[in-house]
Amino acid sequence: MKELCPQPIVPAAQAPADMPYSAHTPRRYFGTDGIRGRVGVWPITPEFVLKLGWAIGRVLARQGTGKVLIGKDTRISGYMFESVLESGLSAAGIDTHLLGPMPTPAIAYLTRTLRAQAGIVISASHNPYYDNGIKFFSSQGTKLPDQMELAIEEQLEQPMTTVDSAALGKAIRVVDAPGRYIEFCKSTVSSDIILNGLKIVVDCAHGAAYHVAPNVFRELGAEVIEMGVEPNGLNINLNCGATHPEKLCQQVLEHKADLGIALDGDGDRVVMVDHRGQILDGDDLIYIILKHKLMQGTFKGGVVGTVMANFGFEQALKERGIEFVRVPVGDRHIISELNKRQWHLGGEPSGHIVCMEMTTTGDGIITALQVLAAMRHEGKSLAEIRTGLMRYPQVLMNVKVNQQEASLENGRIQQAVRDAEERLGHQGRILLRRSGTEPLVRVMVEGRDERQVRELAQQLVDIVKEELGGDK
């Protein structure tokens, strides 16, 4: 076997070549959702991603022969990373099937149905174009198991080699990937769901769903007005999509549309807008889906949300006798808890919603279809079908701190939290948490009285700022 790279592609200052590695070593590359960062800044570099492709290829080669799917969103760096991933996999003797720009949930679905060993997504989701990332799906369209991530990290520490020329992996392009996924999305609602007469504005964030999402709703009969369907590699998520739905609100009102649908750059998040221009976030959409399933008698179990879910949403579920469990932010935590409890519905206010009865990961198009199905079955508008959920006023503020690891166990901060909780009683909640990526502390306060909520949030921000030495 030829040695392509004599040393592991990791900075010497961060990862000495002789550093021992074991299954108990903390992960150095994988975060909660793959590997993500600024393009050109380690590890989001061509050298590292080449080695990463080779490493996963080596791990998969131990499990037998097969193929790996590679899909991406529309950011300009996707071309570069697609090429080096393909090269790394080929060097390990693994065939690749290239999907081109496709939503993240589509890659999960196609990995499963095309019987691939794994699926790779090149995307930084809702981040700007200058970021990118790599995440993986197992052969079942789920997140990679922990032991496989550890095995890949262990392989990354080895010198890169190439298989014999006769055993090199081949690459082919899957030309019918969009059509396959469109048909799958349509199959998740019953055949009596016809969207004739509905005018829908669909904002694809100039992202991976630009050539898929409008066709799903159009083929079901809706009149579709397209937004964010002209990607140029630099405009993904730029003032549009699920993270910036303001323009969608304007378009819904200007076109006198029945509703709007906004996806993010990789198509796994969705927020919706009713005919009045009001935004419905993930809590609203889960509530609509749940309420409809309860009406049909098909809902089982409970709902998994995150620490960011609105307190009013939790109270609405409690009033309906539905168990609600909070987990840390991130769909990995939501999916893990759903699997553990054998429940089927979960998500977060950002619009990352998982309907486990239909798919294995968050899917913006499928979530929107479930909401549209509820509207059609009940003969109600989006604004009408949302009724029954009384949201509590919520204030979220960020405080810059001197150290990203600054402790929130500070005595004065903890006493301030207890005092604020006492003032709220059982009619609200407080959450302080550190950002996982920036030197920030996020302060969230919810309660029935908006004036009190804002007052308590500002008091906590001031104390955190004083104690941890940051500036708001």
Give me the domains of the chain, ranges plus CATH numbers. Answer: 2-175 (3.40.120.10), 180-385 (3.40.120.10), 394-468 (3.30.310.50)
Beta strand 353-355 with 345-347: parallel, antiparallel or unpaired?
Answer: antiparallel
pLDDT of residue 471: 54
* Extended strands (E) in 89-145: 95-101, 118-122, 131-138
pLDDT of residue 31: 75
Query: Please, what is the angle between helix 282-296 and helix 364-378, to 10°?
Result: 50
Minimal CA–CA distance to 84: which of 62, 61, 105, 57? 57
CA dist 456 and 446 (Å) reads 9
| Geometric angle at alpha carbon 408, from 406 and 412, rounded to 5° | 120
pLDDT of residue 363: 98
For residue 279, the 8-state DSSP code is E
Residues of the chain with pLDDT under 70: 1-27, 32, 403-406, 436-437, 470-472
pLDDT of residue 436: 67
CA dist 96 and 85 (Å) reads 9
Instruction: Kindly state the helix (H) or strand (E) to which residue 271 belongs, with its residue range.
Output: strand 270-274
Q: Give all strands of the β-sheet with 95-101 in edge-to-edge order.
A: 35-38, 131-138, 118-122, 67-72, 95-101, 171-173
CA dist 347 and 430 (Å) reads 20
Tokens 């066709």 correspond to what residue? Answer: 215
Out of 125, 138, 139, 435, the active site residue is 125
pLDDT of residue 21: 35
pLDDT of residue 15: 33
pLDDT of residue 348: 96
247-256 — which CB contacts under 8 Å span 24+ positions? 247/203, 248/201, 248/203, 248/273, 249/273, 249/277, 249/278, 249/279, 250/277, 251/201, 251/203, 251/225, 251/227, 252/201, 252/277, 253/277, 255/199, 255/201, 255/225, 256/199
Tokens 């206010």 correspond to what residue? Answer: 349
pLDDT of residue 163: 97
- Per the document, the length of the chain is 472
* Alpha carbon 147 to chain centroid, angstroms: 22
**463: three-class secondary structure by DSSP:** helix
pTM (2 d.p.): 0.89
**243: three-class secondary structure by DSSP:** coil
Is 125 noted as a catalytic residue in this protein?
yes
Mark 175-198 as b/e (b = at least 16 C-beta within 10 Å).
Answer: eebbebbbebbbebbeeebebeeb
Tell me the two tokens of residue 92. 């390990």
pLDDT of residue 470: 58
